[in-house]
A = this chain, B = another copy of it.
Amino acid sequence: MKLNKKALENLDRIERIKIINAVSGIKPANLIASIHEDGITNVAIFSSVVHLGSDPALLGFILRPTGEVPRNTYDNILANKSYTINHIHPEFTKKAHYTSAKFDASISEFERCGLTEEYIETCKAPFVKESRFKMGMQFVEALPIKQNNTLLVIGEITSLILPDASFESTEDINLEEINSVGISGLNSYYTVTKIAEYPYARTSEVPKFK
């Protein structure tokens, strides 16, 4: 099936949201957590965390326009520059999913959705205890995307918590073993199965294809 620009514009709003949220392919499932100065914590699911660079270690995520739910997160990040990014695993995808409901700012999604706060000395924001792979983040900058009033929120990784076994090999960290899940569309969750690992691609070592 082919849809041109006009056909895309003419799609029913919900249908378009459903389709366009799937076109980028599998998206990482992360919980972003923060804390207000008054001590109320906030945690919300994001599928837009993206690797920006390894040195310095930078990650970005896309924040929806003002008025939508994750702004509690952003207000907290601006106030104290601290947040955490936590992988989601199959045991708590349902709890993680419901953090996307538009709870009042006075309610902590940790409590309402049955997730557990965890703190370390060097990070003000809470981690999600249930997560096995998580990062403490220092806010760096937010770049406005003027076409749709979203923001690319940029942060530097200041702490990294992951299973010891991740380092036992010279291969890439195995996301299947850690069992981190992915998202497609707005509501669908996926596990991942490793099928291949190839060497760094040098022009002199490219196989003869065909």
Contact = CB atoms under 8 A, between A and B. Distances in A.
A119 interface: no
Given A17-B54, A207-B94, A182 B25 contact: yes
A157 B8 contact: yes
A60 B160 CA distance: 26
Q: Which secondary structure dominates where chain A touches chain B?
A: mixed
Number of copies of this kind of chain in the complex = 2
Contact of A52 (B56, B145, B157, B161): B145
Interface in A165-200: 166-167, 171-176, 180-182, 184-200
Interface in A71-111: 85, 87, 90, 93-95, 97-103
A28 B30 contact: no
A206 B112 contact: yes
A51 B26 contact: no
Interface residues of A, number: 110
A196 to B, nearest CB: 5
Interface string A41-58: 000000111111111111
B163 A1 contact: yes
A171 to B, nearest CB: 7
Interface of A: 1-5, 8, 13, 16-30, 47-60, 62, 85, 87, 90, 93-95, 97-103, 112-114, 120, 122, 133, 135, 140-141, 143, 145, 147-148, 150, 152, 154, 157-164, 166-167, 171-176, 180-182, 184-203, 205-207, 209-210
17 contacts: A4-B158, A8-B157, A21-B54, A24-B49, A24-B50, A27-B50, A52-B147, A93-B196, A101-B203, A140-B147, A145-B152, A147-B154, A172-B186, A174-B184, A184-B192, A189-B196, A190-B194
